[in-house]
Structure 1
Amino acid sequence: MTYKQGDIILIPFPFSDLTGNKKRPALILNKPNVNKQSLLICMMISSVHRHTSSDIPILEWNEAGLLKPSVVRVNKIFTIDGSMVLKRLGCLNQNDFKPILSKFFSLFE
């Protein structure tokens, strides 16, 4: 399957200590023409009551294919092979995606 920047996918997201994983949504940050096999993604969570400074809420979560109000945890990023994607859930609109990309780039300033 072909994925694009802003797609929300379901993946086996690894625990930070690499002892296991949990199926959860993730957001694709990179453009497909950069590398068709590798996807740069960040974690999404529906536990919106536990915000950190790197969490960006998804305002139009239902339209994006999510079942619950969610946030993107921009500081939880990694690269996966496209074959690890279990399913495509939806896509963020530009109003939701732009603040996430801006926050992502600010991590490197």
Structure 2
Amino acid sequence: MFTMKIRRGDIVLVVYPFTDLSSSKKRPAIVISRDLDNRRLDNVILLPITTKLFHRGEETEVLIIKDSDEGKGTGLKIDSVIVGV
């Protein structure tokens, strides 16, 4: 069995299905579940990350500038937005 050590704040690639379920695509997401839960459970809580910057300004969204100090450590290749609920 393969086990990844996933921590809160990690950016991971997730396979998201298209709305019509005809296919899927890998997309980045950020882990927001607690590290304690990540170690003991089979599931983690994620928020999707998008490059669609028209979402900017919502209270539940966080802009990541790829060339900023914070953005450089993410591995993201394009400025992106973490999409909250």
Higher relative contact order (CA 8 A, sep 6+): 1
Calculate percent identity across the aligned residue pairs: 26
The structure whose residues are more often strand, as a share, is 1
Whichever residue aligns with residue 50 of structure 2, its letter is I
| Cα distance in 2 between the residues matched to 1:64 and 1:25 | 10
- Alpha-carbon distance between aligned partners in 2 of 1:32 and 1:71, rounded to the nearest angstrom: 23
Structure 2 counterparts to residues 44-83 of structure 1, below 5 A: 44-48=49-53, 50-51=54-55, 53=58, 54-59=60-65, 60-75=70-85
Report the CA distance shift for 1:22/1:61 in structure 2 as closer, same or farther (over 3 A). same
- Name structure 2 gaps, 5 residues minimum: none
Q: Deviations over 1:34-69 (max 9, x none)?
A: 243111001001122x21523210243222111111
| 4+ residue runs over 4 A deviation | none
Segments of 5+ residues of structure 1 without an aligned counterpart are 76-109
State the number of aligned residues.
Answer: 73
C-alpha distance in structure 2 between counterparts of 1:63 and 1:5, whole Å: 14
- Partner AA of 1:39 in structure 2: V
Q: Contact 1:62–1:68 (CA<8 Å) still a contact in 2?
A: no
What is the 5 A alignment of 1:1-109? 1-15=4-18, 17=19, 19=21, 20-34=23-37, 35-48=40-53, 50-51=54-55, 53=58, 54-59=60-65, 60-75=70-85
| RMSD, aligned α-carbons | 1.9
Under a length normalisation based on structure 2, what TM-score does the superposition of the two structures give?
0.71
Q: Which of structures 1 and 2 has the bigger CA Rg?
A: 2
TM-score, reference length from structure 1: 0.57
Give yes or no for contact 1:61–1:70 (8 Å, CA) kept in 2. no
